[in-house]
């Protein structure tokens, strides 16, 4: 809390402290189950809260080894269960944090409103990358490939659509497809893991079928494969994409990079902002001033400049999600802890004189 200071009224001083929420509930998703189970829990603990975590029932295997490591006395508990358990959790806590889909996030927000507790929501994304003429195309292709396919694209900050200046489009597309063709699956020794949920594989397949039916061209990947009982999708590069296709407008959550040619920065920004999401984005341009000018026009909470998906690795930058990608305080930077604290003010009058606004009374 700030040091005590004089108020605007003579003789009055303002101080204060910070009061943590007693119990914070965390409802975490199936992707990155350990990381996203703790990314809100640890700051809440640092703020002085007790924390109750309800991870996704799809990926619960980390719970038992995690709880073996939790020291006695640390007010952290993890419970298993499905959506009904998450709904019950909201009724028990003093603040709730949810990471997941927009639709479920809206349900959590409604439930939190009914019991009058704050809800911090980190929801979906459809992150765009913009590549302008003059950018380092080889660097842009390498960064966007990683940003769109790390963890098989199952990250909220994954690059899911790419807008390239028309004069650079063909060269960039060739570089991106060439690099993507060299990236294999983990079952072959490569870095691309399986699709976590069967319905996720179905969604990817449906979006690819829709794109091809509407004229998109598949340069790499493009199919769901089965290996060892799991579903896999190789890095998929599409060209000829446009906003009539689901793959350009709805969250994919897979290693798919649709590329669209644009006529300059204005069209790129207009298309990038043509979305219900506003989580993050990326801009590649030279000089840097041009990239920053474009970044400042995007309606998204974090913009990687001449790189992609840096929010996965750089946690110092405080940010808010725009549009339906989230609600509430930043989970990055100092605000990641401060959002779990309520400010309390102490207003101390050290004057012996009567306040002039008091009701006049006879002695």
Give the residue numbers annotated as catalytic, written as ranges: 122
What is the C-alpha to C-alpha distance for residues 84 and 74, in angstroms, rounded to an integer? 26
Total residue length of the chain: 363
Non-local (6+) Cβ contacts of 160 within 8 A are 125, 126, 127, 128, 148, 153, 247, 251, 252, 256, 257, 258
- What H or E segment, with its residue span, contains residue 38? helix 33-38
Contact present, 251 and 243 (Cβ < 8 Å)? no
**Helix, strand, or coil (residue 199):** helix
**Helix, strand, or coil (residue 347):** strand
What is the C-alpha to C-alpha distance for residues 87 and 209, in angstroms, rounded to an integer? 35
What is the C-alpha to C-alpha distance for residues 19 and 342, in angstroms, rounded to an integer? 5
């Amino acid at each position: 809390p700030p040091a005590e200071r004089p108020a605007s009224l003579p003789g009055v001083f303002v101080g204060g402290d910070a009061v943590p929420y007693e119990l914070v509930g965390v409802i975490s998703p199936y992707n990155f189950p350990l990381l996203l189970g703790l990314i809100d829990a640890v700051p809440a603990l640092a703020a002085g809260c007790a924390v109750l975590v309800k991870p996704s029932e799809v990926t619960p295997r980390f719970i038992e080894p995690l709880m073996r490591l939790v020291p006695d006395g640390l007010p952290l508990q993890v419970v298993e269960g499905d959506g009904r358990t998450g709904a019950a959790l909201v009724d028990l806590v003093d603040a709730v944090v949810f990471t997941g889909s927009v639709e479920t996030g809206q349900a959590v927000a409604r439930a939190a409103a009914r019991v009058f507790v704050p809800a911090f929501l980190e929801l979906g994304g459809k992150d765009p990358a913009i590549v302008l003429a003059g950018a380092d195309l080889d660097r842009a292709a390498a960064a966007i490939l990683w940003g769109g396919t790390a963890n098989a694209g199952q990250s909220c900050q994954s690059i899911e659509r790419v807008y390239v200046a028309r004069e650079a489009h063909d060269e960039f597309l060739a570089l991106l497809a060439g690099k993507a063709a060299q990236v294999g699956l983990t079952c072959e020794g490569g870095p691309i893991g399986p699709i976590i949920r069967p319905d996720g594989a179905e969604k990817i397949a449906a979006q690819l079928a829709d794109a091809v039916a509407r004229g998109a061209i598949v340069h790499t990947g493009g199919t769901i494969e089965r290996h060892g009982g799991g579903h896999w999708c190789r890095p998929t590069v599409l060209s000829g994409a446009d906003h009539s296709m689901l793959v350009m407008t709805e969250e994919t959550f897979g290693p798919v990079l649709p590329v669209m040619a644009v006529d300059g920065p204005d069209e790129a920004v207009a298309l990038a902002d043509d979305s219900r999401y506003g989580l993050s984005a990326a801009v590649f341009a030279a000089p840097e001033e041009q990239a920053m000018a474009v970044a400042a026009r995007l309606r998204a909470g974090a913009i990687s400049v001449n790189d992609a998906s840096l929010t996965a690795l750089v946690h110092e930058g405080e940010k808010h999600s725009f549009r339906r990608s989230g609600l509430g305080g930043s989970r990055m930077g100092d605000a990641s802890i401060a959002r779990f604290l309520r400010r309390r003010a102490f207003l101390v009058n050290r004057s012996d004189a009567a306040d002039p606004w008091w009701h006049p009374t006879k002695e």
